[in-house]
Amino acid sequence: MYDIIKYIKRIKFSLFKNMDKLKIATLLGSLRKDSFNKSLLNYVMEISKDTLDISIIDINLPLFNEDMESNPTDSVLKLRNTIKDSDGVLIITPEYNYSIPGLLKNAIDWGSRPYTENVFSKKPMGLIGASSGAMGTVRSQSHIRQVCTFLNAFVMNKPEVLITFSKDKFDNNNKLIDSKTKDIIDEFVNNFEKWVKAINQIKDLI
Ligand SMILES: Cc1cc2nc3c(=O)[nH]c(=O)nc-3n(C[C@H](O)[C@H](O)[C@H](O)COP(=O)(O)O)c2cc1C
């Protein structure tokens, strides 16, 4: 009898465990198998497993075509629904040619349309990036912020996570090993949780 009660309690706990977690829809701007940005996402997931329920959206989507807006593919619908159902959006991306990788911009464009159904509107958003260069995705991130102004997404400002010379920050298994980078991501995750809660509390007033 005691075992049954324990069993029921355990099921109840695992059923409700996810309810307190914030649902975060993630757009990862690299499809590369050994992507450093994917490794960053893995680190974020590891340190936030008790507080964030992170889903990674497949952004391997058809090229945006306005003619298809009213008849989108299942993959586009999935992107739209995952973002709509989320408490917040996290973008983790490299910089391509001083700007936003095309596949990420394509996914953002799909999520932003039709115009009246822009799924990013009033979503709290966080931004992280790693690149092999000395500028650590600063240009890519500033372009995303510009895009987000039109999307009416609320991008957290600080801390900025601009990871430079990414090869030096990971080991041979692509595991994050740099302690300063870990510290800034820890701070980012901590602030992002607060940001998501705060924006969701006020978003209907603005
Ligand atoms: C098409 C392309 C353009 C790139 N442009 C830049 C750039 O403008 N600035 C930069 O720092 N790195 C640039 N890189 C290098 C990327 O930072 C590097 O490949 C990075 O590791 C990609 O992220 P990932 O490891 O998550 O795939 C570029 C790479 C590619 C493939």
| pLDDT tens-digit series, residues 33-58 | 999 999 999 999 999 999 999 999 99
Q: Whose CA is nearest to atom 11 of ligand 1?
A: 133
Residue 88 placed within a domain: yes
Residue 13 placed within a domain: no
Residue 154 placed within a domain: yes
Q: Using alpha carbons, select from 102, 77, 104, 103 the residue that is nearest to residue 90.
A: 104
In the reported structure, the alpha carbon of residue 162 is separated from the centroid of ligand 1 by a whole-number distance in angstroms of 13
Residue 12 placed within a domain: no
Q: Which residues line ligand 1 (CB under 6 A)?
A: 30, 32, 35-37, 94-98, 131-133, 135, 166
145-159 residue pLDDT tens: 999 999 999 999 999
Residue 8 placed within a domain: no
Number of folded domains that form the chain: 1
d(CA 156, CA 196): 9
- Specify the pairing of strand 52-56 against strand 22-28: parallel
Report the CATH number at residue 56. Answer: 3.40.50.360
In the reported structure, the alpha carbon of residue 103 is separated from the centroid of ligand 1 by a whole-number distance in angstroms of 13
Residue 169: domain span:
21-205
Residue 96 placed within a domain: yes
What ranges make up the beta strands (E) of the chain? 22-28, 52-56, 88-92, 124-130, 154-155, 161-163
| pTM for the whole structure | 0.92
